[in-house]
Structure 1
Amino acid sequence: MTPRDHSPAPVVDPAGAAAPVSGPSAEQPPELSAGVPAELPRLVNSVIWPGFVGTTVPEWLDRALRNGLAGVVYFSHNIDPDAPEQVAALSAAIREANPSAVVGVDEEGGNVTRLQARDGSTIPGAAVLGTLDDPAVTAAAGRAIGRLCRAAGVNLAIAPVADVNTNPLNPVIGVRAFGSSTELVSVHTAAALAGIQSQRVGACAKHFPGHGDTVADSHLDVARVELTLEQLREHHLPPFQAAFDAGVAAVMSAHIIVPELGSAPATLNPRAGALLRDLGFEGLLITDALDMAAVRATVGPGEGAVLALLAGADLLCVGNPLNAYTSGLDDESCYAEVFGAVFDAVSSGRLPVSVLRRAAGRVAAFAQWSQGVPDDALADSAGGSDGLDSADWVDVAARACRVDRGSGAVSLGGPDAVVTLLDARTGHNMAAGPTENFIATALLEDYQVFVPAVSLLSPEDLSDLVSAAASRGESVLVIVDSLLSPDQQATLAAVAAVAPRALCINAGLAPAPGTATGTALTTIHCHGFSRVSAEAVVSLLTPGS
């Protein structure tokens, strides 16, 4: 089967199958103006993709789904990890209200997971896979993501990341990318999406036209890419072209400004939308979340939704209603703000109905494609398998680890040894969200672990604590996620001064082999902070593993 066999069918017009119109919320729909189609409330709903609060379907969401809402995006607060069947039951309830619902989730493997948020992803992230540089393993990881999603009733994985992380100071992409090489990212983007889509789960290449050379996080600020269009075409667009050629179902736009395309972020920029279509992509264009600062703090989510549709978007990702940086609205109000703005724009004639119909057609075409039979079922019936689908992902992640040796040995001693674990990280990636300390969790299987609150310690107290641990013969580990961070470098230097045999665990970008790491400590570069990478690190540190 060729990659094109995994791509959705051509656009269809869903209007002919419209069900009777009912209100998008508790109220009846607004009175329609002359010349506005009677199915407008349903048509508006068909391009909106909100988040919601809770592990069951709230009443407002049920009403909206029955009135044609495109679907939903899951976040970690929608998942109950103590009830394994909960998320599949939630998806079934959503599809009882709307059989064509698009249910999406950020499931990249590695740092970014929603379905495995509490305990951490069991599937390696992009930087691990890019470091190994084995496209067959990347495709197998994509299949694992696809199966995880399909078992949960999810039919669109908002992955893979197709960004080329050329800026080591990038605060939001980093280890979420396969690497900094255009060719490598292109190969692995195509492999990952083919794996995901083999399960009839759509893949979504993000973040067009490339978020890899920014120093701002568009969750929190307007991000700019200070590149010419020629540079963008040479270094950052090829992975997206590879995704298009491989039949990717969807693309997510970036809230980034490309000066040659104008002053508007790509999500709201018709020239960026035209660039995407000029490259030959005919599938579903999804906005990044409209609650992010690049939209929320400039034009606002409602106006942003209208501008995004005018710029060529098909599906409006409203965002996570529990994000600390949102406007404080509840989940229904976040949805209603977007619905009202789009409805008013169509009613006034500012947003042509034809634009809405075209977008709704692409959403409907994707939903229809996702209802097909996964390749696994076809392979099982034919007795085929490539042997990689039972991969030991901890072993895969361990093979990707790189050790830059200093004075310390890559070993923690025997079982029941005491480990002092210093978490020197100074925040969390906004896309990943806060997580448990997976290194500590993995260590607790075999060791006694002491995890002091580094941020609360003065430099003198930190030195005294580490010196005392080293004098007792205890192992000292320091976790960092940026070797370029002055604060994290200061912690490493303080530790190295009193415990030169301590070990550094770098969960961020690794410097090129042979270049300085910025610390004298023996350093294990594990290319991410996830459950599987944490277990890989501990396996390297445990004798006989």
Structure 2
Amino acid sequence: MLNTGSDSAEPTQEELRRLVNSVIWPGFHGTTLPSWLRKVLGEGLAGVVYFSQNIDPDSPGQIAKLSAEVRAAHPLAVIGVDEEGGGVSRLQAKRGSLVPGAALLGRLDDVELSEAAGRTLGRLCREAGINLNLAPVADVNTNPLNPVIGVRSFGADTALVGRHTVAVLRGIQALGVGACVKHFPGHGDTVTDSHLGLPRLDLKPEVLKAQHLPPFQQAIEAGVQAVMTAHIVVPGLGDPAQSETPATLNPAAGELLRSLGFRGLQITDALDMGAIRATVGSGLGAVQALLAGADLLCLGNPANAGSKSEEAEYLEVFDAVLAAAQNGQLPREVLETASGRVMAFARWSTQAMEAAADTRGGAVEQDWAARIVNAFSLSEPPSEPGEISRTTNELEELAKKLAWPTGTELHFLDARRGHNMAAGPSGNFFAAALSEHYQLRRSSLDQLSSTPGAVVVLADALQPGSEQLEALTQLAKKAPKAICINAGMAPGVQLPLSTVNCFDSSRITARAVAALLSGSVPGR
């Protein structure tokens, strides 16, 4: 926090610049610390956020060394990462997460297992020198058409989401790493991806309070260190003008969060996302977010398409906040309060790291494959006209119906349409896992012969009317015995192919699916 020696003394320009820096949290390119970033860390920058481009899995200790570089420039830096497990991983992005995602944990509904997953995430962060994990997701996924939350949520039941949110955050924080629940006040009933546009949460206040706020309330009562706000419009939250702005920029959303008893770190979702960039822009968005109660301005991933250079992104926000502080639009007290909370978290993390006795957090895999297969299901197409699809969770039946002999030539089609913006680009872990059992041949629908033999297609968005569902329909005409691996939510529609719903795209899930297709049930 700014120290001027007097509550009424005006800060010097150097002090004001340090104060502005202390609430800014950028991302960057590369696996070493850029010179510009080293400089501004020395000038009081809050810290950095890691993305997959900052991690080199082929260089043991690289990320811990990078964190040491950051802390050499700023000993109390906040170093963060999105390490949710499942399909959203930075530390294991290139080879795939060995921690199952939230939807699988919710389907298993074992809070001890969820806490173990949290401890593993905390251990991964701790060993990398990271002190804040932007996880878990506390959104209740009540809209099956949600394009950005989906399997990142523990489920559609408020109580279930609440208990597993608490379990995972406790596991993370047991390792001395702060957890950050997201995306307040709830991103689960939206149909727009806030990376690309501005979603609306068209719910009555009483529905929001009953369905979507409880997991955040439970997390706050459990001692969560940080909460990330959502770039969503919540009609009726605040006065008419406020309620048409994203929650991150809406003072009423900040007031609502604090009314739940939260005294920790309020973090913005990335300011480079379409919901902010395409409306007010990152610079003005940063000023409005601080006025709305934010403490830490997450700038986002400079590797995303359309992003400015990392330094230009930082300067846009820094210049806007500095100008607003100089012209009186942004009161000094607002900046000092935000900066004080950032420093309070940094001090908490130092003490928590020292106090955490168990730095192992359990084995990384913990025989996850044997556990998560119990959450899979098989949806079968009707065998006769007029019948409805049948779904089974019986693993032995599932393996028996699906099995191909090891070594079979397997045509592999990927029907997915790019990567989820929250997850970022990653490898095809299903193809890699299947290659351990079969002679894999990557194909397209056009390349298949009239008698293609064994065929598997990978999908993750099979909602009614989707391109992927249409692709399955066309494939069924050519290869009716093909099998679909669905890494997304199980759709509430009749599917044209036998489909394994695995609710996740992590490496550990891909391995479990591949084992089932080869006729074995992991752990049995």
Q: TM-score, normalised by structure 1?
A: 0.87
Which of 440, 465, 468 is equivalent to 2:451?
A: 468
1:427 aligns with 2:418: yes
Letter in 2 for 1:35: E
The yes-or-no answer on 1:15 pairing with 2:6 is: no
Contact 2:80 2:133 in 1 (8 A): yes
| Alpha-carbon distance, 1:53 to partner | 1.3
CA contact (8 A) 2:136 2:168 kept: yes
Return the match for 1:505 from 477, 480, 485. Answer: 485
Residue of 352, 362, 371 corresponding to 1:396 = 371
Look up the SS of the partner of 2:472 in the other structure. helix
Q: Which amino acid aligns with 1:503?
A: I
1:241 aligns with 2:232: no
Q: How many residues align?
A: 495
Q: Is the 8 A contact 1:254 1:266 kept in 2?
A: yes
Q: Residue 106 of structure 1 contacts residue 114 of structure 1 at CA under 8 Å; is this kept in 2?
A: yes
Q: Does 1:496 align with 2:496?
A: no
| Counterpart Cα distance in 2 of 1:130 and 1:375 | 31
| Counterpart selection for 1:80 from 56, 69, 72 | 56
Conserved in 2, the CA contact under 8 Å of 1:466 and 1:495?
A: no
8 Å CA contact retained: 2:120, 2:361:
no
| Paired position in structure 2 for 1:284 | 265
Please name the residue that 1:63 is paired with: 39
- The residue identity in structure 1 corresponding to 2:479 is A
| Aligned with residue 369 of structure 1, among 348, 356, 363 | 348
Alignment of 1:536 onto 2:507:
no
Q: CA RMSD in A?
A: 2.1
1:373-388 matches, within 5 Å, as 373-374=352-353, 377-378=356-357
Counterpart contact for 2:122–2:361, Cα < 8 Å: no
Distance in 1, Cα, partners of 2:198 & 2:309: 24
Task: Find the aligned partners of 2:184 and 2:434 in 1 and give their Cα distance.
Answer: 39
Question: Taking every aligned residue pair, what percent have the same amino acid on both sides?
Answer: 57
For structure 1, which runs of at least 5 residues remain unmatched after alignment? 1-13, 19-33
Q: Secondary structure at the match of 2:76?
A: coil
2:466 corresponding residue in structure 1: 486
8 Å Cα contact 2:116/2:361 also seen in 1: no
The structural deviation recorded for 1:374 is: 4.6
> Of residues 156, 170, 174 in structure 2, which corresponds to 1:194?
170
Q: Once structures 1 and 2 are overlaid, which stretch shifts more, 230-239 or 517-526?
A: 517-526
SS of the residue corresponding to residue 260 of structure 1 reads coil
Counterpart contact for 1:274–1:312, Cα < 8 Å: yes
2:391 maps to none
In structure 2, what is the Cα distance between the partners aligned to 1:393 and 1:437? 19
Which residue is equivalent to 2:390? none
Residues 426-481 of structure 1: per-residue CA shift (max 9 Å, x gap): 232110122221111001112110112x3xx5xxx36xx153212xxxx2111111
Residue 315 of structure 1 contacts residue 363 of structure 1 at CA under 8 Å; is this kept in 2?
yes
Q: Which secondary structure does the structure 1 equivalent of 2:451 belong to?
A: helix
Looking at structure 1, the residues matched to 364 and 70 of structure 2 have their Cα atoms a distance apart, in angstroms, of: 30
The aligned amino acid for 1:296 is R
State how far apart, in whole Å, the 2-side matches of 1:422 and 1:309 are.
47
Which portions of structure 1, spanning 4 or more consecutive aligned residues, are displaced by more than 3 angstroms? 34-38, 373-377, 385-390, 405-412
Aligned partner of 2:431 among 440, 443, 468:
440
SS in 1 for 2:412: strand
Report the residue type matching 2:481 in the other structure: R
User: 2: CA distance between counterparts of 1:481 and 1:42?
Assistant: 45
Give the drift of 1:250. 0.3
Whether the aligned pair in 2 keeps the contact of 1:290 and 1:304 (CA below 8 Å) is yes
Aligned counterparts of 1:190 and 1:367: Cα–Cα separation in 2: 22
Contact 2:403-2:516 within 8 A present in 1 as well: no
Q: Return the alpha-carbon distance in structure 1 between the equivalents of residues 268 and 183 of structure 2.
A: 9
How far residue 372 of structure 1 moved from its aligned partner, in angstroms, is: 2.4
Q: Secondary structure at the match of 1:239?
A: helix
Name the CA shift for 1:375/1:161 in 2 (closer, same or farther; >3 Å). farther
Distance in 2 (CA, whole Å) between partners of 1:127 and 1:375 is 32
Contact 1:198 1:374 in 2 (8 A): no
Whole-angstrom CA distance in 1 between matches of 2:362 and 2:232:
41
Structure 2 gap segments, 5+ residues each: 238-242, 384-397
Amino acid at match of 1:320: N
Contact kept? 2:116, 2:362, Cα under 8 Å: no
Q: Distance in 2 between matches of 1:152 and 1:43?
A: 27
> For residue 492 of structure 1, what is the amino acid of its counterpart?
L
Q: Tell me, what secondary structure is at the counterpart of 1:206?
A: strand
Residue in 2 that maps onto 1:417: 408
C-alpha distance in 1 between matches for 2:361 and 2:224 = 22
Which secondary structure does the structure 2 equivalent of 1:467 belong to?
coil
1:53 pairs, out of 6, 19, 29, with 29
What is residue 10 of structure 1 aligned with on the other side?
none
Q: Distance in 2 between matches of 1:127 and 1:267?
A: 26
**Counterpart code for 2:408:** A
DSSP-derived class of the 2:452 partner = helix
The corresponding residue for 2:388 is none
1: CA distance, partners of 2:362 / 2:270: 37
Q: 1:352 aligns with which of 312, 331, 351?
A: 331
**Distance across 2 between alignment mates of 1:227 and 1:489:** 29
State the 1:486 CA deviation.
2.9
User: Once the 2 structures are TM-superposed, how far is the Cα of residue 350 of structure 1 from its aligned partner?
Assistant: 1.2
One-letter amino acid matched to 1:360: S
What one-letter code is carried by the residue in structure 1 that aligns with 2:416? R
SS at match of 1:367: helix
